[in-house]
Amino acid sequence: GEDVEQSLFLSVREGDSSVINCTYTDSSSTYLYWYKQEPGAGLQLLTYIFSNMDMKQDQRLTVLLNKKDKHLSLRIADTQTGDSAIYFCAALATTSGTYKYIFGTGTRLKVLA
């Protein structure tokens, strides 16, 4: 079945850029997502990218998709302490009209002041 993998931890200094990486196995995934989870909260959708795109930029966030390598990354420019959270990558698997989201284990981003 579909599998999504992420590194578990990332630590950066405030003001630096953060890059969180993700790999997935199902080449037919049509949408790929990045979610943010702050302590004690549910997941918040940050951004998503359609599989026919290579890049998507939204303010401080840049998503890069390498479909050939099945690699997705999230770059956060000018990282702030408020960006400290767990970031989940997810891929959409579609089967006969049903939509199932496969999530990675999450990357815990720690921003050092």
Partner 1 sequence: GAGVSQSPSNKVTEKGKDVELRCDPISGHTALYWYRQSLGQGLEFLIYFQGNSAPDKSGLPSDRFSAERTGGSVSTLTIQRTQQEDSAVYLCASSLNPTEQFFGPGTRLTVL
**Closer residue to partner 1, CB minimum distance, 31 or 70:** 31
**Angle at CA 50, nearest 5°, toward 23 and 10?**
35
- Counting contacts by CB under 8 A, is residue 92 touching partner 1? yes
Other CB atoms within 10 A of residue 107 CB? 21
**Closer residue to partner 1, CB minimum distance, 6 or 18:** 6
- Counting contacts by CB under 8 A, is residue 52 touching partner 1? no
25: left (phi over 0), alpha (psi -120 to 50) or beta: alpha
Contact positions toward partner 1, by CB under 8 A? 30-31, 33, 35, 40-45, 48, 88, 92, 94, 97-106
